[in-house]
Structure 1
Amino acid sequence: MDDKKVLIVDDQNGIRMLLMEVFSGEGYRTFQASNGKLALEIVKDESPDLVLLDMKIPGMDGLEILKRVKEINRDIKVIMMTAYGELDMIKEATELGALMHFTKPFDIDEMRMVVNMQLRGSETRSR
């Protein structure tokens, strides 16, 4: 099985570190970016299987990044991370192709479960 790649995009260092640790612990190849420009470079170079994308990033916001990720490769799965109260943006993110969102502070175990399901579920899907 080839290693699945997860890209974590958040301007908060602590969140990136936490998620990197969790998902490399799950056996994924993890990448991180603190801004949109960097995130898109990684998307182009590494073509990650899944992107965990913070909605509120200084410079290029999450929706813009999402839009561009989908332009580069529609098959990349994107899960948004949002602050409380960004519901209008969540609706737009869903229309742009985001799978779902987690509201901060999120439950890390729940997120791990969802990511595993998205990345490994296709191999074990029986119905």
Structure 2
Amino acid sequence: MEKKKVLIVDDQNGIRILLMEVFNSEGYSTYQAANGKIALEIVAQEVPDLVLLDMKIPGMDGLEILKHIKQMNPDIKVIMMTAYGELDMIKEATDLGALMHFTKPFDIDEMRVAVNSHLKGNTADRLS
């Protein structure tokens, strides 16, 4: 079976490295992007199953990136990461199709459980 692909989009290198280590060890193929342009190139080339997307990224912000991802492929799952209590942005992200969000500093185990449940959960929801 082909490995599921996780794309991590965050302008903070430390967070990208941490999340890549975690999800590599969970058996996923991981990709990383520091900005929206690179993220969308990876989405186009690799078609990740799930994107961990930081809300605050210089240049193209998380909501804009989310819109582009969903336009390119509505089946890609997106989990937002935010450092602030931006409830209006979180609501907009949910309206745009984000599954959920984590507030930084997030609990890495909670995030791992969430990603696993979305990627290793039943595949029936994909067939509908």
Structure 1 length-normalised TM: 0.96
Question: Can you give the 5+ residue segments of structure 2 that lack an aligned partner in the other structure?
Answer: none
Distance 1:31 1:99 in 2: 19
1:114 and 2:114 aligned: yes
Match of 2:52 in 1: 52
Question: Can you give the 5+ residue segments of structure 1 that lack an aligned partner in the other structure?
Answer: none
Alpha-carbon offset, residue 102 of structure 1: 0.2
Match of 1:90 in 2: 90
Distance 1:45 1:76 in 2: 13
Q: How many pairs align?
A: 125
Equivalent position amino acid for 1:69 in 2:
I
Moved runs in structure 1, 4+ residues, more than 3 A? none
Match of 1:29 in 2: 29
Equivalent position amino acid for 1:61 in 2:
D
Alpha-carbon offset, residue 69 of structure 1: 0.2
Structure 2 length-normalised TM: 0.95
1:5 and 2:15 aligned: no
Query: Share of identical aligned residues, percent?
Result: 78
Q: Secondary structure at the match of 1:52?
A: strand
